[in-house]
Amino acid sequence: AQSVSQHNHHVILSEAASLELGCNYSYGGTVNLFWYVQYPGQHLQLLLKYFSGDPLVKGIKGFEAEFIKSKFSFNLRKPSVQWSDTAEYFCAVSTGRRALTFGSGTRLQVQP
């Protein structure tokens, strides 16, 4: 069965700091990879996704993620965070079954 691990449960950064959130998955076949964000009081929104091609994927709001197949990883990055990036971030993977499996989430708190 597929699974997703997000090792950082709570991250606190100051504005302008760089961000990297880890995501590892376990599945031997072809995967589709996603990062979702949930701002306080709002519903889940798609940040970016990877299906194939360039392993460096750019998403909305300056986020990017890199798929490293050999490491089964899909880490999320942003060079300079803002207070408005405070949210919970979820990594997710889908395989042939097509139902998304989510990680446990990382709560990001950006201090002004």
Partner 1 sequence: DGGITQSPKYLFRKEGQNVTLSCEQNLNHDAMYWYRQDPGQGLRLIYYSQIVNDFQKGDIAEGYSVSREKKESFPLTVTSAQKNPTAFYLCASSTAAGNTIYFGEGSWLTVV
**Chain residues that interact with partner 1, rule: CB under 8 A:** 4, 6, 9, 32, 34, 43-44, 46, 49, 51, 90, 92, 94, 98-105
In sequence order, what are the beta bridge partners of 36? Answer: 46, 90
Taking the least distance from each CB to partner 1, the nearer of 11 and 17 is 11
d(CA 108, CA 69): 25
Task: Please report how close the Cβ of residue 104 comes to partner 1 at its closest, in angstroms.
Answer: 4
d(CA 62, CA 77): 9
Task: Please report how close the Cβ of residue 44 comes to partner 1 at its closest, in angstroms.
Answer: 4
Task: Please report how close the Cβ of residue 17 comes to partner 1 at its closest, in angstroms.
Answer: 24
Taking the least distance from each CB to partner 1, the nearer of 13 and 100 is 100
User: Which amino acid would we find at residue 60?
Assistant: I
What 3-state class would DSSP assign to 16? coil
CB 99 within 8 A of CB 33: no
CB 67 within 8 A of CB 74: yes
Taking the least distance from each CB to partner 1, the nearer of 92 and 108 is 92
Task: Please report how close the Cβ of residue 2 comes to partner 1 at its closest, in angstroms.
Answer: 10
